[in-house]
C-alpha cells in the first residue's frame, strides 16, 4: 500500500504537492512608497521642492509655517537670483532679497534670468554708453586710435650710401670750383643734390597716393584656389559678424567699420588741436575708429571667408570719410545735434572752426581686403600678415618702396550709394 503524498491548497484554490510551509515572520517594510502627484508648478503642492528654495506660503487661517532645516543653506541661493512661480501658484509673501520675484516659466526651469533675455553680454558687445556718452566696446572690437602709418622700406645700407655719395659730390664740387676756377662744376653738384632732395620730398607727399595706386593694380585672387599662408587680395560683399557696429554721429546701423573724426582749423594765433598742429592747417582733435570681425563673399569664386579684424588685430583702413557738418561760430546754435555730440564727449565748441567727418563700411558694401589666408577644416579665414607689406620701387612714378603693417581694408564706393541687401 503506497504512502500518501501530502498536498495543500493555495490561496487561489490550486492544490500543490508538498506540505504547507511555515509562516514567515513579519518583516518591517524597508520604505513606504506612495505615488507623488503632479504639481503643475503649484508651490502649494510642491512640498520639499518649495522648502529647498525657502518658499513658504501664508495661510490666513493658520499660523505661518516654521522655516525648514534647508532654509538656512538655501538662503544664499535664494538671494543670488530670482525665484519664479507659475501662473497658477498662490501668493508669495514679500521678503527682502537682492533680486525681484518673477513668475516661474511654463517649462518648469528655474533660471537666474527670464527666458529670452541674454544670460550675459559677449565680450565685444556694445555696452551702454558711459557718463560721457561715448560708445564702449569690449576686447572683441579693435580700437584704431592711431592713424595709418606708411613708411619707406629702404635698407639702412642704401641710405648710408646715398648720404656718403651726396657729401662726396658736394666736397668734390667745392674743391674743383676753387682749384679750376669754374662755376660749372658747382652748378652740376648743386643740381645733383637738388634732384635728390626733390625725390625725397616727392615720396613724402605722394606716398599715400602711390600706395593706394599699388593696391588698385594688385590682382584679385580666387579664394577657392588659395593655399594656406598665401597673401591675397579679395574683393566682395561684406556681412557683419557676431558684433555689428554703429556710427557715432549718424547712427548708421550694421557696419563692420566705423570712423568719426573731428578736425579743427588753426589760424594765426589760434588754439592747437594736437601737439603737431601747425598754423593755417586742419588738425585732428578727436577720433573714434572701430572695426570687428566680419565676413566677405568673394566675387571670383563666391566663397565666403571670415576676416579676423577684431581682438586688437593690426588693421590699416583706407576709407574716405564724408563731411557731415562744418561748425562755425555763426551756425553753432542751429546744430543742436553736434552740440550734444560734443558735450557727451567733453569737448568744448567755443569760437573754434571745426569740421566733423564720418566714414563707415556698411553691411552689403563692396570692400577690398588684403591679408593672409588661413584654412582650418572647412573654415577659410583672412588674417593680418606677420610682416609689413611693401610696394617695391615704382620707377614709373619715382616712388621708393612703401610699406604698411596689418590687414588692409579699402572701400571705394560712396557712403551714400545703395548697398547690396544681404
Residues 107-151: pLDDT tens digits?
444 444 443 333 344 444 554 454 455 677 888 999 998 888 887
pLDDT digits (tens, 9 = 90+) for 31-54: 544 555 555 556 566 556 555 555
pLDDT at 199: 85
Residues 160 and 204 in one domain: yes
Total domains in the chain come to: 2
Lowest mean pLDDT among 12-21, 103-112, 127-136, 186-195: 103-112
* φ and ψ of 4, to 5 deg: -85, 130
Domain boundary among 210, 238, 256: 210
Least confident of 125-134, 154-163, 281-290: 125-134
**What does pLDDT average to over the chain?**
75
Are 229 and 187 in a shared domain? no
Residues 180 and 289 reside in one and the same domain: no
Claim to verify: residue 173 and residue 244 sit in the same structural domain: no
Are residues 159 and 229 both part of a single domain? no
Contact 226, 232 (CB under 8 A): yes
Q: Is residue 288 part of a domain?
A: yes
pLDDT score for 192? 81
Residues 293 and 380 in one domain: yes
Per cent of the chain over pLDDT 90 is: 26
Contact 382, 306 (CB under 8 A): yes
* Structural domain span for residue 171: 154-210
Are residues 241 and 167 part of one domain?
A: no
Q: What pLDDT is attached to residue 352?
A: 82
CA distance 88 to 420: 50
pLDDT (tens digit per residue) in 347-373: 887 778 889 999 999 999 999 999 999
Query: Dihedral angle at the C-alpha atoms of 227, 229, 233, 237, nearest 10 degrees?
Result: 70
Q: Please check whether residues 173 and 320 belong to one and the same domain.
A: no
Report pLDDT for 329. Answer: 75
Q: Are 225 and 303 in contact (CB under 8 A)?
A: no
Per-residue pLDDT, 274: 82
More confident residue, 214 or 124: 214
Strands 294-298 and 304-307: what pairing?
A: antiparallel
| Residue 416 counted as domain residue | no
Residues 198 and 324 placed together within one structural domain of the fold: no
| 32 in any annotated domain | no
Whether the predicted pLDDT of 288 surpasses 90: yes
* Domain's final residue, options 190, 210, 230: 210
| pLDDT value of residue 131 | 45
Within a domain: 392: yes
Q: Is 382 contained in some domain? A: yes
Specify whether 206 is located in the same domain as 237.
no
Among 179, 210, 241, the domain boundary falls at 210
- Range 185-206 average pLDDT: 83
Same domain flag for 239 and 339 = yes
Are 266 and 158 part of one and the same domain?
A: no
DSSP for 50-111, written as a single string? HHHTT--PPPTTSPPPPPPTTHHHHHHHHHHS-----TT---------SS---PPPTT----
Contact by Cβ (8 Å): 322, 415: yes
pTM of the model: 0.63
Higher confidence at residue 124 or residue 332? 332
Amino acid at each position: 500500500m503506497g504512502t500518501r503524498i501530502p498536498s495543500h491548497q493555495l490561496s487561489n484554490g490550486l492544490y500543490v504537492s508538498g506540505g504547507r510551509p511555515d509562516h514567515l515572520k513579519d518583516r518591517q517594510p524597508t520604505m513606504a512608497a506612495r505615488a507623488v502627484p503632479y504639481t503643475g508648478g503649484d508651490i502649494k503642492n510642491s512640498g520639499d521642492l518649495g522648502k529647498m528654495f525657502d518658499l513658504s506660503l501664508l495661510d490666513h487661517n493658520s499660523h505661518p509655517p516654521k522655516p525648514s532645516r534647508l532654509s538656512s543653506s538655501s538662503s544664499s541661493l535664494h538671494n543670488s537670483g530670482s525665484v519664479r512661480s507659475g501662473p497658477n501658484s498662490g501668493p508669495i509673501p514679500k521678503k527682502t532679497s537682492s533680486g525681484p520675484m518673477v513668475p516661474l516659466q511654463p517649462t518648469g526651469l528655474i533660471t537666474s534670468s527670464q527666458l529670452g533675455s541674454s544670460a550675459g553680454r559677449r565680450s565685444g558687445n556694445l555696452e551702454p554708453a558711459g557718463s560721457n556718452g561715448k560708445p564702449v566696446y569690449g576686447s572683441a572690437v579693435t580700437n584704431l586710435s592711431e592713424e595709418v602709418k606708411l613708411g619707406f622700406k629702404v635698407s639702412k645700407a642704401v641710405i648710408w650710401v646715398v648720404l656718403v655719395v651726396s657729401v662726396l659730390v658736394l666736397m668734390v664740387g667745392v674743391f674743383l670750383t676753387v682749384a679750376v676756377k669754374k662755376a660749372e662744376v658747382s652748378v652740376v653738384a648743386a643740381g645733383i643734390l637738388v634732384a635728390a632732395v626733390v625725390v625725397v620730398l616727392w615720396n613724402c607727399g605722394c606716398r599715400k597716393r602711390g600706395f593706394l595706386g599699388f593696391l588698385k593694380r594688385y590682382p584679385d585672387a580666387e579664394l577657392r584656389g588659395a593655399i594656406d599662408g598665401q597673401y591675397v587680395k579679395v574683393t566682395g560683399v561684406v556681412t557683419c559678424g557676431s558684433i555689428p557696429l554703429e556710427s557715432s554721429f549718424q547712427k548708421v546701423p550694421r557696419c563692420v567699420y566705423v570712423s568719426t573724426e573731428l578736425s579743427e582749423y588753426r589760424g594765426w594765433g589760434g588754439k592747437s588741436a594736437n601737439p603737431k598742429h601747425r598754423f593755417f592747417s586742419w588738425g585732428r582733435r578727436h577720433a573714434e575708429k572701430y572695426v570687428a570681425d566680419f565676413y566677405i563673399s568673394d566675387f571670383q569664386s563666391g566663397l565666403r571667408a571670415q576676416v579676423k579684424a577684431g581682438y586688437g588685430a593690426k588693421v590699416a583702413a583706407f576709407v574716405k570719410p564724408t563731411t557731415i557738418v562744418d561748425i562755425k561760430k555763426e551756425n553753432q546754435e542751429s546744430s543742436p545735434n553736434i552740440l550734444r555730440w560734443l558735450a557727451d564727449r567733453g569737448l568744448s565748441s567755443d569760437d573754434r572752426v571745426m569740421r566733423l567727418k564720418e566714414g563707415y563700411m556698411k553691411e552689403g558694401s563692396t570692400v577690398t581686403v588684403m591679408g593672409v589666408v588661413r584654412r582650418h577644416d572647412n573654415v577659410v579665414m583672412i588674417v593680418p600678415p606677420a610682416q609689413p607689406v611693401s610696394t617695391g620701387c615704382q620707377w614709373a612714378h619715382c616712388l621708393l618702396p612703401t610699406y604698411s603693417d596689418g590687414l588692409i581694408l579699402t572701400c571705394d564706393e560712396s557712403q551714400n550709394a545703395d548697398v547690396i541687401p544681404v
